[in-house]
Amino acid sequence: MNWHIGVIGGSGLAEGLDLEDAQEIPVSSPFGKPSGPVVTGRLAGRRVTFLARHGKGHRLPPSAVDYRANIDVLKRCGVTDVLALSAIGSLHEDMAPGHFVAVDQFIDRTQGRKGSFFGEGLVAHVSLADPVCARLSSLAADAAEAAGGRVHRGGCYVTIEGPQFSTRAESALYRQWGAHVIGMTAMPEVRLAREAELPYALLGMVTDYDCWREGEAVGAAEVFAVMKANAALAREAVRKLVEALPEQRTPSAVDTALDGAVVTAPAARDGKLVAMLDAVAGRVLR
C-alpha cells in the first residue's frame, strides 16, 4: 500500500512545503464546512495533502473549527495517515519554548464540540486507549530531530476550549493531573481520526510556559512570534518525515479500528447517517 500523508497545521505551512504539482482542491463534506480547500501534491515522491486547521489567514477560533468535516475530507482525499502540527504551551519545566513534543496521550476539557461521526441511529464505540499511532509518532519525532529540533518523545496534552488562555489555578491543576502540555485543538481531532481509521500523530511546538510559573503569563503575540521563528523547522520536519517513510506502507492496527465497534443492528441503522459515513466507515457499513 502506498503512503498518503495528510498534514493538518497552520495556514502558512503549505506554501513552504514546496509540493510538486500542487493543486488546491475544494472538497465538500456531509458533516459541515471544512476549514478550507485542501492542497495536494507530491513531496519526495509521496502524496501529501495539507489542510489549514484555522482556515486561510487564521480566521477560525478553535471552537469554530469543524473537526468532523476536516477529518472527513482528508479521508475522502485518500489520506492513509495524519500528522497534526500544533502550537502548545508547556506545563513542564524541561519542555521549553522552541522544543517539539511528540504527544502520546490526551485529556479533553473542551465543551460542546461534536466529538463523533456516529450518533443516534448508528452507534459505534472505538478504543482510544492509545490515541496516537506509535509508528507515525516515532517517525515524526525522528524527522523533527533530523531537521535540527529538540524533541520530547511522549507527553500528555490537555485540550482546553479557549479561546482564552487558562487561569493560574487551572494551569496548576493540569500539572497536578500529570499533563505536560496544553492547547486548544487536539480534541476532538484525535477522536475523529480514530473513528475514520486514520493513524494520527501530533507534533506540538512549545511556544510558552502557560501561566503556572510565578510572575509569568502567556500572550498571543508571544505564541505567534515563536511559531514564526520555528516555521521553517516545522516544514523541514514534514519533509524529513516523508523522505524517511518506508518504501511500502504496511498495515496499521488503526486501519481496522472500526472492526466490532459498530453495535447498531443493520435493520435499525439510520440510512441518512449511513450515507454520510460512506468515506469514514464505508468499509464496515457496506
Query: Is 210 among the residues known to form the active site?
Result: yes
Beta-strand pair 156-160/181-183: parallel
Three-class SS of residue 183?
strand
Q: Which candidate in 72, 81, 104, 208 is catalytic?
A: 208
Q: Which candidate in 72, 81, 108, 210 is catalytic?
A: 210
Amino acid at 245: L
Residue tagged 495524519 (cell numbers): 82
- Find, among 86, 75, 128, 133, the residue nearest to 249 by Cα: 133
Query: Is 208 among the residues known to form the active site?
Result: yes
Alpha carbon separation from 64 to 25, 35, 59, 97, 155 (Å, rounded): 22, 9, 9, 27, 26
Q: Which helix (H) or strand (E) holds 234?
A: helix 220-244
Residue tagged 464505508 (cell numbers): 282
Q: Which helix (H) or strand (E) holds 52?
A: strand 46-52
Widest distance between CA atoms in the chain: 61
End-to-end CA distance of the chain: give it in Å, rounded: 22
Catalytic residues: 208, 210
